[in-house]
A and B are shown apart, each in its own frame.
Chain A
Amino acid sequence: MMEGKSVVVVGGGAAGMEAAGQLAKAGARVTIVEKESETGGHVSKWCYLFPDRRKSTEVIQYLNSQINQKNITLLTGEEVNLVEKKGGRFILTTSNGKELDADAVVLATGFDLFRSERKEEYGYGIYENVITSADLEVMFKKGEIRLTNGGVPQKIGFIHCVGSRDEKVGNLYCSKLCCVTAVKQAIEIKEFLKEARIFCFYMDMRMGGALYEELYHEAQVKHGISFIRGKVSEVSQTIDHRLVVKAEDTLAGRPLRMEIDMLVLMAGMEMSQGGKRIAQNSRIKTGENRFFLPADHHFGGNKSNVRGIYFAGACAAPMNITETISHARSAVQDVITYLSDGKQ
């Protein structure tokens, strides 16, 4: 029933690749538009994944096999600026001025990591040895964790909720994945550097996903990682380039100060710039959190306010890879229903 139908998938990350693969299997002609030169999105920048520490390359391999089908066309280095509905069909205008024709559209524009410079009080881009969770993954890929002077850090701090649950940066929502990412990364550091002491500064430990709590448990008892409940208020630097962290230890009810060698900021997730542009130009509704707004939170998680345009993955809300894959599959289900009876 999908034969002869064409679908454009905007974004070639996990959500877009899975959606494209499933649509192609159902018989549709699919075009993926990806702004980078390669597909894979954020997943390809990560080294190991939570909660089971699987290599990200395994997930990329799976996704590549999904899009390795003859009825899938890949357009890279190009972005979609506008989606217009005309006479029951869609025209997508790209950054190169190309016009793509489609019977249905899947938006899989994903997320951008919160730019940690915006939380100036933590000193990212100002002090040496303040890095983000993404920077740490680059170190994991290189296989070494080093200070800027080449030394090995002995005492490392993680700050949770950087750019999440923070009215000051306009993000009231929880990015959901950073807690478990901090736990995963803390364990990984401990495996690299047996002697290192690690402290996670958190507001709440949100360990809602499958096996997250178990990982947290392992971090505490097996790896001796310390968790301090308190949002870090500010970071400063000593004359010998160590970092001073100030927080309230809220469970002790007392202010706490500590010197550390390296600080990792757990950057949250924000609606991607590309997604925002499409939303504005094409009048697709977004929520207060600026992510795409699903038509119904219970039954229409993939539906936009325009029939024939569906969301897949983290462009609709922060979600992990497991959720992204499921979300992409359910978007495909909506596309198939829409194209078969047109009554969605």
Chain B
Amino acid sequence: MADFGFTIIKPRVIDYDSNDRRIAEYIFEREPSFRLCIECGACSATCSAGNFTRFSLREFNILLKRGENSYVKNELKKCMLCGKCTLVCPRGVNTRNVISLAQEAFIKLNGHEV
């Protein structure tokens, strides 16, 4: 296509109703403590990956809940599953399991199982 020198900017709005929230629901069902997350950021503060890369588990958690799955899928790879986040979480969320379940859900989603 001819380059006319302009692009279409994708809207930044979280369109809650059209987003696919199956990954989040999959996790809620298997790890109900995920619902307790209040996005305080203790996990990201202690996160080894987050200290060296742009990975933020807090941001990951909230966008996962909102169904921003393309972002989530990309970020998922950055976690090394060390589990420090789970140790510091004041709400007792099993954050490490959230990541594992997210990985599982994406695999199943590709096989249309979720």
Contact = CB atoms under 8 A, between A and B. Distances in A.
Interface of A: 205, 217, 220-221, 224, 226-227, 229, 249, 251-259
A249 B38 CA distance: 13
A257 B65 CA distance: 14
12 contacts: A205-B38, A226-B65, A227-B38, A249-B14, A249-B62, A249-B66, A252-B59, A252-B63, A254-B14, A256-B16, A257-B17, A258-B17
B39 A255 contact: no
Contact of B14 (A220, A221, A226, A256): A256
Contacts of A251: 39, 58, 62
Interface majority SS (helix, strand, loop, mixed), chain A: strand
A224 B17 CA distance: 17
Contacts of B28: 224
Contacts of A257: 13-17
Contact of A256 (B13, B33, B38, B59): B13
B62 to A, nearest CB: 5
A232 to B, nearest CB: 13
Contacts of A227: 38
B54 interface: no
Given A221-B32, A251-B58, A255-B12, 10 more contacts: A205-B38, A217-B91, A224-B35, A226-B65, A249-B14, A252-B63, A254-B12, A254-B13, A254-B14, A255-B13
Nearest to B25: A224
Contact of B66 (A217, A224, A256): A256
Contacts of B39: 229, 251
Most A Cβ at <10 Å: residue of B16, B28, B39, B58: B16
User: Which of the four size classes fits the interface of chain B?
Assistant: 20 to 34
B84 to A, nearest CB: 21
A217 B35 CA distance: 9
B35 A221 contact: yes
Given A221-B35, A224-B35, A229-B39, A252 B17 contact: no
B36 A220 contact: yes
A259 B35 contact: no
Nearest to B12: A254
Contacts of A221: 32-33, 35-36
Interface in B20-45: 28, 32-33, 35-36, 38-39
A261 to B, nearest CB: 12
A252 B37 CA distance: 13
Contacts of B65: 226
Contacts of A249: 14, 62, 66
Contacts of A254: 12-14
A226 B67 CA distance: 13
A255 B14 contact: yes
A233 to B, nearest CB: 12
Contacts of B58: 251
A252 B32 contact: no
Nearest to A223: B35
A269 B63 CA distance: 34
